[in-house]
Structure 1
Amino acid sequence: MGNKARHTRRIEADERRARLAVRHRLAGTARAASAEEVAGSLVALHATDPATVFLAVGARLAGKQGVAGPVAGVEKALYEDRALTRMHGMRHTIFVFPTALVPAVHASTTRDAATRERAMLLKHLAKGSEYDDAWLTETERQVLAELTVRGEATGAELGEAVPRLRAQYMYGVGTRQEGPQPLSSRLLRILGMEGRIARGRPQGTWTSSRFRWEPTPERPDPSDEFAHAELVRQWLAACGPATEADLKWWTGWKVTDVRKALAAIGAEPVELAEGTGHVLPDDLDPVRAADLEPWAALLPALDPTAMGWQYRDWYTDPAHKAALFDRSGNIGPTVWWNGRVVGGWAQRPDGEIAIRFLSDLSDEGGSEAEAAVEAEAARLRGWVGDVRVTPRFRTPLERELSGA
């Protein structure tokens, strides 16, 4: 007798939202005890806007940790324990990763982007300056030597110590974008992408992006195949089920690389509303929404949950896109109820957290939902204190609510 055809399990939207609630540390019983736990559960925290890291962690901390806020814990993990690392990752975006995952991210994603960035800089230097590859190599040597002596330094401090870093070149020669550009920020960014230096503690508060630079320790250099497979394994554990399109969007890889990684980890196909999805081979057991207590969350702009998938209709109403996203596809601060985005929020100049519901919740808890959201807003107000947070990428609803 031949083998029976294997049944492909279908995972509906309510189960996906239940998985999200638990694995992304959003449901009350799933809240985390530390920044490291949050980052490990989410794989990567968007860090283009530095405030997002702290707000994303704060929304997921349990008990007294959540009331006290995430600032001290995140800073300790980033700058003292080095359990978390800020670096360029997927889609040429800055993220905060668990440090143990950094080799896989670098080998699968950042290294190729750094190679392209270096080639582009050399091309611009050749067209718009007298500087060549040898000159750039010597400049890098001096920068790295100075940073080794100092231990840490800002870009401005390095420019004072290494005059070459203050050089300028002509960008976009012969185009409408032609104009002088400083070398320092671009070269330091490339050295960071290559893993030769890293962003350290910023100047100012936790919302600042004026980072100091530090030398980096040696780290493993895994094969491309292992690195691709490991990153997909981690991501599916956090975000599965998901489609190839979701993975291609999140990683920024070619679809062939996505498919090879899925095959390498033995990912299992499942049926989703939008097509074929994938989960880890040991992740087919049902997760029941009915087993969870109702939960609410206020997530920041660019939160890794809100930005986790390319296809978002199962947790975000398409009718709300114009209010919640900017023109580049960046999501603003969102209000969540039981796994769905139901509104947005913003901080006003006086510190008040303004909220607007975009969904009718009268059949989904109504007053219970409003009370839970207000409790999250009060918790956020409590730990943010006198700091004012303005998202790096403004969205229509956030602007309106903040009074901008």
Structure 2
Amino acid sequence: MTVLDTRALGRATLARQLLLERADMPPLAAVAHLCGLQAQEPQEPFVGLWSRLRGFEPGSLDDLLVERRVVRTHLMRRTVHLVTADDTLAWRARHEAMLRQRVLGVYRRDLDGVDLGELAAAGRDVLSDGEPRTMAELTRAVADRWPTTAPRALGEMLVAALVPMAQMPPRGLWRTRAGVRNLPLATWLGRGIDPAAPDGSDPVGQVLVRRYLAAFGPAATADLRAWSGLAGLPAAVAATRAELIAFRDERGRELLDLPDAPRPDPGTPAPARFLPAFDNAILGYDDRTRVIDDAHRGLSVAGERAVLVDGRVAATWATEEDTVVVTPLRRLTRVERDEVAEEGRSVAAFLSDGASGRVRFAAT
């Protein structure tokens, strides 16, 4: 079986994630291809798409949110993602058990004795008037039925698990600060989520396997599990295995992939790219060494924005007023530094509508 080294896997990831070269792709198609964008920080998806799409305009993503073609919702790993409306409705039921278990993992003691079916019914009853509500407002409306239960536990279970929700605009719009107001997906999108397959088969799981590999492969089942939060999708992997090809990584793990998906030559040049916080190009794997050194793995879950140099995380970046500040994690060569500075000036211009192109390297 062919062994793919770290550099080969890294180049494949860059190609699948639209980071090897910017794509001429509409934002809706990009969100779909990427299986959604991590979005708990509302402004970060704009940087994520700008780094991946040629000529990306923030207003185009605003339009998709307002027109209800993409939604902000809890999905993979129980984190907020920006997902196409079609994928949200098709995938939500498959994630429901995981969402409940993840909330219970935090609030099990608080929710002891709470009938989750009754809680869900109470929440839906409150929301039946079609008015968006904050989690606090929703919790206050049902709390009299569970007066001894921590309000936060009731709210998290309702909003993140029991009632499939969309977070309403203006939350998530470009340069807009707005709190989270929730409305059931069925109300916002005008159609309910697709039901789970009644015969115990897992057609949605099979779709998730194929879609994940298209955007993240080659990958191990542990990577699929880390991305989705689901328990490895073993039946779905087994059902699709005949149409997949297999490799091994340098650790000996089996990696699955779609036969015709891009796997560029490891020597393919990789341009500097500025990633947003919590980007799935890093978080979408159990073994992240194809993109980031283990020594820096913690940065990816701490909300640090990463700079890719030659396809790997080599710096972090932040903004200070109108300046992009780059903090290297290793010594950059002069050529690398110049490339990062050029891309940083472009990021600064994007974030300021062309008013600034300032970049500064922090002392290390």
The interval holding the TM-score normalised by the smaller chain is 0.7 to 0.9
1:260 aligns with 2:235: yes
Q: Residues 279 and 246 from structure 1, CA distance in 2 versus in 1: closer, same or farther, beyond 3 angstroms?
A: same
Q: What is aligned with 1:19?
A: 12
| Matched positions, count | 344
Q: Is the 8 A contact 1:155 1:213 kept in 2?
A: yes
1:108 aligns with 2:82: no
**Among 75, 96, 99, the residue aligned to 2:62:** 75
Report the TM-score, using the length of structure 1 for normalisation. 0.73
**Among 140, 147, 155, the residue aligned to 2:134:** 155
Distance 1:263 1:211 in 2: 39
Pairing of 1:358-377 with structure 2 (within 5 A): 358-362=329-333, 366-367=334-335, 369-377=336-344
* 1:339 shift after superposition: 1.2
**Secondary structure of 1:170's aligned partner:** coil
Q: Residues 375 and 186 from structure 1, CA distance in 2 versus in 1: closer, same or farther, beyond 3 angstroms?
A: same
* 1:226 shift after superposition: 0.6
Q: Is the 8 A contact 2:18 2:52 kept in 1?
A: yes
* 1:375 shift after superposition: 2.2
* 1:296 shift after superposition: 0.9
Distance 2:230 2:119 in 1: 33
1:49-75 C-alpha deviation (Å, 9 max, x unpaired): 21222221122121x33xxxx421111
Distance 2:290 2:136 in 1: 48
Amino acid in the other structure paired with 1:181: P
1:230-258 C-alpha deviation (Å, 9 max, x unpaired): 11110011111111221222222224xx3
Amino acid in the other structure paired with 1:143: L
Q: Is the 8 A contact 2:288 2:297 kept in 1?
A: no
**Among 87, 92, 95, the residue aligned to 2:81:** 95
**Secondary structure of 2:204's aligned partner:** helix
Structure 2 unaligned regions, length at least 5? 354-360
Structure 1 unaligned regions, length at least 5? 1-7, 172-179, 387-399
* 1:86 shift after superposition: 1.7
Q: What is aligned with 2:180?
A: 211
Q: CA RMSD in A?
A: 3.5
**Secondary structure of 1:270's aligned partner:** strand
Distance 2:125 2:318 in 1: 45
- Computing the radius of gyration from Cα coordinates, the structure with the larger value is 1
Report the TM-score, using the length of structure 2 for normalisation. 0.80
Pairing of 1:1-400 with structure 2 (within 5 A): 8-28=1-21, 30-62=22-54, 64-65=55-56, 70-80=57-67, 82-114=68-100, 124=110, 137-138=121-122, 140-144=124-128, 146-147=129-130, 150=131, 153-155=132-134, 164-165=141-142, 167=144, 169-171=147-149, 180-181=150-151, 185-186=155-156, 188-190=158-160, 194-195=163-164, 197-202=165-170, 206=175, 208=177, 210-214=179-183, 215-216=187-188, 217-218=190-191, 219-223=193-197, 225-255=202-232, 258-266=233-241, 267-283=244-260, 286-290=263-267, 292-321=268-297, 324-325=299-300, 329-348=301-320, 350-362=321-333, 366-367=334-335, 369-385=336-352
